[in-house]
Amino acid sequence: MTLEETLKQNTIAIFKSEFDADISADAVTLNITKKEHVGDYTIVVFPLIKFSKKSPEQTAEILGNKLKENSGIVGSFNVIKGFLNLSFTDAFWQTRLKDIAGNKNYGTFAANKRKVVLEYCGPNTNKPLHIGHLRNMLLGFSMSEILKANGYDVTKVNIYNDRGIAICKSMVAYKRYGKGATPQSTGIKGDHFVGDWYVKFNEVANEEIKALPNAPADKDEAQKATSIFKEAHEMLLKWEAGDPETIRDWKQMNDWVYEGFNETFKLLGVDFQKDYHESETYKLGKDIIDEGLAKKVFYKRADGAVAVDLTPDGLDEKVLLRGDGTAIYITQDLGTAQLRHEEFNMEKMIYVVANEQDYHFKVLKLALQKLGKKWADGIFHLSYALVESPTGRFKSREGKTADADDLISEVLRIAEEKTKELGKIEGFTEDEANVLYKTIGLGALKYFVLRVNPYKKIIFNPEESIDFHGHTGPFIQYTHARIRAILRKADPANLADFKNLETLVAVERELIIQLGEYENAVLAAAEKYDPSEVANYVYNLARTYNKFYHECPVLTAATEGEKKFRIALSNQTGIMISKSMKLLGIDVPEKM
RNA sequence: GACCCGGUAGCUCAGCUGGAUAGAGCAACAGUUUUCUAAACUGUCGGUCACUGGUUCGAAUCCAGUCCGGGUCACCA
């Protein structure tokens, strides 16, 4: 039972015995006491006076006395208006630290056998990953770690949009102008190589449009009139017909892209247990359409398209299958969801996809629910807002700042530069130094993205955003390195062993309170699908530790007892920082 | 036009299932190192929580309306 639960249970029991009132745990408002008041935790009694039928002060007074008598952990209390400030005994806090330190699995909840499939990344194979994918991947990976810590059985999957006109555009440009070049021969990373041919396609098409006698004003329409587009379209038809040569070229193109993607995945530390390819799933979903028609949930319109009426749900009529019987985006997503249900029988199906697609996922979930599929209740769209530059949305054609690989190498470069500036790599081998640059650079980048609530847009200024001071990843990493530096000099056998001290310093108590909040952060992050809960938690923990570090000497503490206690406290803080950061997919260094 | 999501300090963000005097970081300014790592710590400066009204003992938080920004309302993905 957590500390909060203990207090709430006690309060419920006291209300029963003292006021003969049945209150729920939700009615008990429990906060950490604001630092300008004396106390550790505060119960707000205003909501409880209707049960006690006494004034706020009287109610708080009675509750405080009884908690002190019964709970065994409340040392003293004070009442200010309707606020009951509880102080726990220093002995209690030290026991609490021992409990936490003694439990290797503290903050990791037992496996609950509940299956989750988490889809993230979802790139197109005709261009490299951009900053949006970066937010997506970091969120997806972190969310998976958080769910695992909550006991879920998580399977991470990726879906590649590997077919359609876009990849054909790259293929045509390559066939026309590539002269047999390869990523190997040019030294260009595979996904960039293919992306460059996509750019080339657009350049050629634009040239053609300029020469067109009466080009349509609409850009897309104009492009369709070009010979290079017609070539790409023909290629798409050949692909769909299964033409061997086209399929072979297409595979080659995609393989180059996957090589490139895999490099980035590896560098970022993200992974997938299963890949889906649209080329294999795009025909799925027809069965569901038939099922919907049979159940009369879907209907065939006069023009032959199959649709579902979602107006009762506040949405619109939505077409699910083209009039010519071919699939669209939603068709295959319906099919893929069904497929995954059959494969995994999961309880939750999480899609990490940008908020542009909020409407799409509402339709997906509703349509499946209307078919009576109970498992569709477990569909959750983890919607996140776009990453924007200070001047607005990043456009792939405006400069290279939005490219994920460029961004990563830039942040690694900065990490190297700053680390050298500070002279922090004395005694490091070259390999160790490179690992450190990576740890710090990626730490800065990942933390920058994950500390923000997913549904809020991120304003990213390439020049200024990635910082290493203050509320940042490196600050937290640095705190860890400091702790490790102390522990290297301490007796490694007894890191968690100490005898209770008479009294604690305020910041020591505060630190133990925060160590005890880890579980809450892990729970909240899963419940809200929000890694920033963990990011903000670990920042506060690191901040408190740095305060402690300045106020309280550890190795040179006044007494041996104090020293042992502070070593244990430092050790546990280091563990919680490391665990928290791991939930964010961020490594912490031993030295920096 | 309808619907969805945002709007909190100069900037980037917490707080939002209602609770005490709205918190951090950056930036600016002033300090702290013969002591375990100064990527740190301490202090100062900085607020009409977009606006108006309502609900209540109490509103940044809930409700209604307005304004601003973004997104969606495709037989594109």
A420 occurs within a structural domain: no
- Give the pLDDT of residue A395: 60
Reported confidence tier of residue A493, pLDDT bands at 50, 70, 90: confident
Burial of A50: CB neighbours in 10 Å, binned 0-12, 13-18, 19+ = exposed
Reported confidence tier of residue A307, pLDDT bands at 50, 70, 90: very high
Nucleotides of B strand lying within 7 Å of any protein CB atom = 3-7, 11-15, 19-21, 23-27, 35-42, 57-58, 70-77
Which residues 548 to 577 of A reach strand B, CB within 7 A?
A: 549-550, 552-556
Q: Across residues A235-250, what is the average pLDDT? A: 95
Reported confidence tier of residue A519, pLDDT bands at 50, 70, 90: very high
Reported confidence tier of residue A248, pLDDT bands at 50, 70, 90: very high
Residues A82, A169 within the same domain: no
- Give the pLDDT of residue A1: 63
A47 occurs within a structural domain: yes
A104 occurs within a structural domain: no
As a three-state string, the secondary structure of A505-543 is CHHHHHHHHHHHCHHHHHHHHHHHCCCHHHHHHHHHHHH
Q: Of A57, A88, A119, which closes a domain? A: A88
Are A251 and A163 a contacting pair, CB within 8 Å? no
Which residues 122 to 151 of A reach strand B, CB within 7 A?
A: 124
Which residues, 6+ apart, have CB-to-CB distance to A289 below 8 Å? A298, A306, A320, A321, A331, A334
Sheet with A83-88: strands ordered across: A29-32, A41-44, A83-88, A74-80
Q: For residue A86, what are the β-bridge partners?
A: A41, A77
For residue A329, which nucleotide's C1' is closest to its Cα? B77
- H or E element in which residue A298 lies: strand A298-300
**DSSP string across A141-163:** HHHHHHHHHTT-EEEEEEEEB--
Which residues 375 to 394 of A reach strand B, CB within 7 A?
A: 385-386, 390, 392-393
- Cα–Cα distance between A341 and A338 in angstroms, integer? 5
User: What CATH number does the domain containing A44 carry?
Assistant: 3.30.1360.70
Are A174 and A253 a contacting pair, CB within 8 Å? yes
Reported confidence tier of residue A82, pLDDT bands at 50, 70, 90: confident
Residues A480, A577 within the same domain: yes
Q: Of A88, A122, A153, which closes a domain? A: A88
User: What CATH number does the domain containing A554 carry?
Assistant: 1.10.730.10
Residue of higher predicted confidence among A149 and A315: A149
State which residues form the domain around A11: 3-88
Distance A380 CA to B27 C1' (A): 40
- Cα–Cα distance between A13 and A394 in angstroms, integer? 57
For residue A468, which nucleotide's C1' is closest to its Cα? B39
Length of chain A as a residue count: 592
For residue A490, which nucleotide's C1' is closest to its Cα? B36
Q: Measure Cα distances from A444 to A461, A533, A581 in Å.
A: 14, 17, 12
For residue A566, which nucleotide's C1' is closest to its Cα? B36
Count of CB atoms situated within 10 Å of the CB of A400: 12
Q: Across residues A509-513, what is the average pLDDT? A: 95
Instruction: Give A322-358 pLDDT, tens digit per residue.
Output: 999 888 999 999 999 999 999 999 999 999 999 999 9
Distance A203 CA to B41 C1' (A): 56
Residue of higher predicted confidence among A83 and A390: A83
Both tokens of A406, joined, read 């460029």
Reported confidence tier of residue A400, pLDDT bands at 50, 70, 90: very low
Rounded-to-10 torsion of CA A561, A564, A570, A575: -140
- Give the pLDDT of residue A213: 84
A537 touches strand B (CB under 7 A): no
A560 occurs within a structural domain: yes
pLDDT of A203 higher than 80: yes
Both tokens of A44, joined, read 């707000």
Number of domains in chain A: 3
Q: For residue A87, what are the β-bridge partners?
A: A76
Q: Across residues A205-234, what is the average pLDDT? A: 88
Distance A88 CA to B58 C1' (A): 28
Amino acid type, A76? S
- Give the pLDDT of residue A34: 87
A55 touches strand B (CB under 7 A): no
Which residues 247 to 286 of A reach strand B, CB within 7 A?
A: 278
Are A352 and A146 a contacting pair, CB within 8 Å? no
Distance A423 CA to B40 C1' (A): 16
A147 occurs within a structural domain: no
Mean pLDDT lowest for which of A28-37, A154-163, A273-282, A450-459?
A28-37
A580 touches strand B (CB under 7 A): no
- Cα–Cα distance between A170 and A194 in angstroms, integer? 6
Mean pLDDT lowest for which of A29-43, A371-385, A513-527, A566-580?
A29-43
Are A257 and A190 a contacting pair, CB within 8 Å? yes
Both tokens of A164, joined, read 């359609």
Amino acid type, A59? T
Which residues 430 to 489 of A reach strand B, CB within 7 A?
A: 440, 451-453, 455-459, 467-472, 474-475, 478, 481-482, 484-486, 489
Both tokens of A220, joined, read 């897309």
A304 occurs within a structural domain: no
Q: Looking at the C1' of nucleotide B18, which residue has the nearest alpha carbon?
A: A47
A36 touches strand B (CB under 7 A): yes
- Give the pLDDT of residue A398: 46
A121 occurs within a structural domain: no
Q: Measure Cα distances from A44 to A54, A57, A79, A236 in Å.
A: 14, 11, 10, 66
Q: For residue A117, what are the β-bridge partners?
A: A155, A349
A549 occurs within a structural domain: yes
Q: Of A221, A253, A270, which closes a domain? A: A270
Distance A266 CA to B47 C1' (A): 44
- Give the pLDDT of residue A401: 55
Instruction: Give A354-388 pLDDT, tens digit per residue.
Output: 999 999 999 999 999 999 999 999 999 999 998 88
pLDDT of A458 higher than 80: yes
pLDDT of A396 higher than 80: no
- Dihedral sign for Cα A72, A75, A79, A85, please: negative
Count of CB atoms situated within 10 Å of the CB of A502: 7
Q: Across residues A164-172, what is the average pLDDT? A: 94
- Give the pLDDT of residue A35: 83
pLDDT of A157 higher than 70: yes
**DSSP string across A280-297:** HHTTTTHHHHHHHHHTTS
Which residues, 6+ apart, have CB-to-CB distance to A432 below 8 Å? A425
Q: Measure Cα distances from A12 to A24, A31, A148, A264 in Å.
A: 7, 17, 32, 53
Residues A477, A575 within the same domain: yes
Distance A50 CA to B56 C1' (A): 14
**Mean pLDDT taken over chain A:** 93
Distance A245 CA to B2 C1' (A): 49
pLDDT of A101 higher than 70: yes
Instruction: Give A291-303 pLDDT, tens digit per residue.
Output: 999 999 999 999 9
Give me the percent of chain A exceeding a pLDDT of 90.
80
b/e burial code for range A326-358 (CB count within 10 A of at least 16 → b)? ebeebbbbbbbbbbbbeebebbbbbbbbbbebe
Distance A318 CA to B74 C1' (A): 10
Distance A30 CA to B61 C1' (A): 17
- Cα–Cα distance between A19 and A344 in angstroms, integer? 51
